Amino acid sequence: MQCERCGADIPEESSFCGQCGAPKPAQATVSGAAPEAQPVQEVAPEPAVIESPAQPAETSGRSTGRTCLWIGVGCAGLIAIMLCVGLAFAFPLVRSIMQDIDLTDIEALATAMVEFSELEDLEQELLEPAATPEPTKAPEPDVCFNVLCFSYPEGEDYGAHPSVLPAELEMEWFSVPAHDDFTFYDYPLNETFHKAHISIYAVAEFLEVNQDAEESVAGLEAFLALKPEYPESVPLVLPIFNAAQMITVQVDYLEFEGGSGVRFVSQYGQAAWPINNQDIFYAFQGLTDDGSYIISAILPVTHPNLPADGETFIGDEYEAFINTYDTYIIEVESQLDLEDPESFFPKLTALDEMLETMQVEMP
């Protein structure tokens, strides 16, 4: 078959003309009539596009990661080199500066800064309003009757029974007005000469019935104002004893709400007699601050260094005891005065505690 463009022969097995590249003419139809020749338009061959094979996503990601890693390592190395160079230049300068600085100045500056901080804290505390503490409610007294209230020593209950004792007016020098009395029926010492009790007397009423009352009350007021440390005797104004004060030891001064007083250990007698646990007692004489009331307490006590009673101590040697009585009294008084207040029974400090709780309510 011949090429329609250049007339060259085209082999049967070829689809294009070997001379000009034109396509081989179509085969004739069944009727044998050759189709009409169509004008051939020249078409410029398209340039071949060479596609590069696509890389897998995993391989692409690894390549990018390695690139970032090496960039990071490079930057870190560069920074390290710059720091080393900077330190190499800065160290001599810092050392020179440190040599010129006085450490004392640094310490002084630090101390000043601490003090300034403390002053700021103090100023802040002063500027802040102080919190008002809540008032604590005082415990209720164990015993109250008319104008006098008080409480027992901690852990004790002496069974006080209050009453009004009638006036005693038979002898003028011995007279006392009607007064409130608190007798202790559960006091730990009951088999003693004196019974445990606290009494309160109105001074004005006492002055009305007793001719010596004014001098006695004035003596007590002066004694409490002076508060002598080692008195030879203590005024026992009330109750009135028809006896003399034989010893005066363990003298101390107490304060209570609205008044003050003196406590001491004593024994009264009408003749020479041994100091013994049957007869000695704790005594208290107090005055309210306005001078309206006298408070008197008589509370028996004992001490292990004393005999149980006078008769056992003397036996049949009373005349020998009389002959050495002055020396005996000085020795016993000196010994008892040096004893610990808590060596007595009940403890003198416990009885002090009770009397310091007293409250006198003015009518």
30, two tokens? 């069944």
Residues forming beta bridges with residue 2, ordered by sequence position: 9
Neighbours of 161 (CB within 10 A): 14
Lowest mean pLDDT among 87-96, 144-153, 235-244: 87-96
For residue 267, is pLDDT > 70? Answer: yes
Residue 5's closest CA among 15, 19, 13?
A: 19
Contact (Cβ atoms closer than 8 angstroms) between residue 280 and residue 298: no
pLDDT, residue 343, reads 98
For residue 220, is pLDDT > 90? Answer: yes
pLDDT, residue 102, reads 61
Kindly report each contact of residues 173-176 with a partner whose C-beta sits within 8 Å and lies 24 or more positions away, as own/partner.
173/210, 173/211, 173/212, 173/240, 174/210, 174/240, 174/242, 175/209, 175/210, 176/201, 176/206, 176/209, 176/210, 176/238, 176/239, 176/240
142 pLDDT band, cuts 50/70/90, is: very high
Handedness of CA 162, 164, 166, 172 (dihedral sign): positive
pLDDT, residue 59, reads 45
Contact (Cβ atoms closer than 8 angstroms) between residue 128 and residue 335: no
The pLDDT tens digits of the residues spanning 37-69 come to 444 444 444 444 444 444 444 445 455 556 666
83 or 342, higher pLDDT: 342
Residue 227's closest CA among 256, 192, 264?
A: 264
Contact (Cβ atoms closer than 8 angstroms) between residue 6 and residue 20: yes
What is the residue type of 348?
L
What is the residue type of 199?
S
pLDDT, residue 170, reads 87
**Alpha helices per DSSP H over 128-212:** 203-209
Lowest mean pLDDT among 82-86, 224-228, 266-270, 280-284: 82-86
pLDDT, residue 89, reads 60
pLDDT, residue 57, reads 46
Residue 283's closest CA among 356, 200, 198?
A: 198
| Residue 287: half-sphere exposure toward Cβ, Cα within 13 Å | 19
What's the mean pLDDT in 179-198?
Answer: 96
Q: Return the residue matching tokens 């250049």.
A: 6
83 pLDDT band, cuts 50/70/90, is: confident
The pLDDT tens digits of the residues spanning 232-241 come to 899 999 999 9
**Alpha helices per DSSP H over the chain:** 57-100, 103-127, 203-209, 213-226, 310-314, 318-323, 325-338, 348-355
What's the mean pLDDT in 99-125?
Answer: 68
What is the residue type of 132?
T
pLDDT, residue 68, reads 60
For residue 125, is pLDDT > 80? Answer: no
What is the residue type of 336?
L
For residue 28, is pLDDT > 50? Answer: no
Burial (CB count <10 Å: 0-12, 13-18, 19+), residue 326: exposed
What's the mean pLDDT in 248-258?
Answer: 96
- Residue 173: DSSP 8-state: G
Lowest mean pLDDT among 13-17, 205-209, 305-309: 13-17
What's the mean pLDDT in 154-169?
Answer: 96
Residue 279's closest CA among 247, 325, 316, 238?
A: 247
The pLDDT tens digits of the residues spanning 295-352 come to 999 999 999 999 999 998 998 888 999 999 999 999 999 999 999 999 999 999 999 9
Q: Cα separation of 63 and 122, whole Å?
A: 66
pLDDT, residue 335, reads 97
For residue 97, is pLDDT > 60? Answer: no
Q: Which of 42-51, 74-83, 103-112, 345-354 has the highest mean pLDDT?
A: 345-354
pLDDT, residue 350, reads 98
